[in-house]
Structure 1
Amino acid sequence: MNPIARQMWTVFRRPSVGFNSLSSELQQWRGIRVQVRNNNLEQALAFMQRKMQSSGIEWMIKRHQSHHLKNSEKRVLARKNLERRIRSQEIARKLKSVLIRKVKGM
């Protein structure tokens, strides 16, 4: 049984234990539910948007967009990803050299 399934099993078996740590996972699994109080739809929509941002559903929706990308957009995205990866590698190299110097200095 994978770890997520095991955690879900403990939540459903004992709802009072471990619920706080898995609330965002449960929201993604069940979907987000918002109550409209006093016919105030604007407030309910704002609350739903905050819940979507905090649970990561908005990020998942943006990630799985299925619209067509132009070749120029693909090139721009590829360049940005390459720059991000190179920057990350440079930072990792610098950190490694600093750590090596610290260890040798001790």
Structure 2
Amino acid sequence: MHRFFRALASSVSFIRRPALPTPVADGSQMQWIRGIRVWVKDGNLEQALAIMERKMKSSGMERLIKRHTDHHIKNSEKRVRARKNLELRIRSEELSRKLRSILVKKIRYASKP
């Protein structure tokens, strides 16, 4: 279990950015801008881990961690990623063309008295 937390902490370290320190009575304490806080109720660590996983998936942090992992990526996975990126780029270009044509039409018709 501790190995899991160490691996998670090392892979999430790029997300944490120190904010201004908050003064307390005996010194200062570092605050983090982004992060997930999960309370462990009645010592139920399994439930807290399940809640943390759900929060990580919903916040998109899981995708960030997977994107920054340094491990071998299979060729089939590279092809899938390349195809998805190509589809996204094509869809984005199509939408930008449509938007541009709509804006040009509005400008043309707005300039006519």
TM-score range, shorter chain: 0.5 to 0.7
Judged with a 3 Å threshold, the aligned counterparts in structure 2 of structure 1 residues 57 and 97 are, in CA distance, closer, same or farther, namely: same
Alignment of 1:11-22 (within 5 A): 12=21
RMSD over aligned Cα atoms: 3.0
More helix by share: 1
Taking structure 2 as the reference length, what is the TM-score of the superposition?
0.58
Provide the residue aligned with 1:80 in structure 2.
84
TM-score scaled to structure 1, two decimals? 0.61
Which has more radius of gyration? 2
Q: Deviations over 1:15-37 (max 9, x none)?
A: xxxxxxxx98342xxxx453322
**Which residue of structure 2 aligns with residue 8 of structure 1?**
19
Is the aligned partner of 1:57 residue 2:61?
Answer: yes
* Alpha-carbon separation, structure 2, partners of 1:24 and 1:43: 24
Count of aligned positions: 87
Any unmatched runs of 5+ in structure 2? Answer: 1-16, 24-30
Q: Which runs of 5+ in 1 are unaligned?
A: 15-22
Match of 1:96 in 2: 100
**How many percent identity over aligned positions?**
56
Which 4+ runs in 1 deviate beyond 3 A? 32-35, 53-56
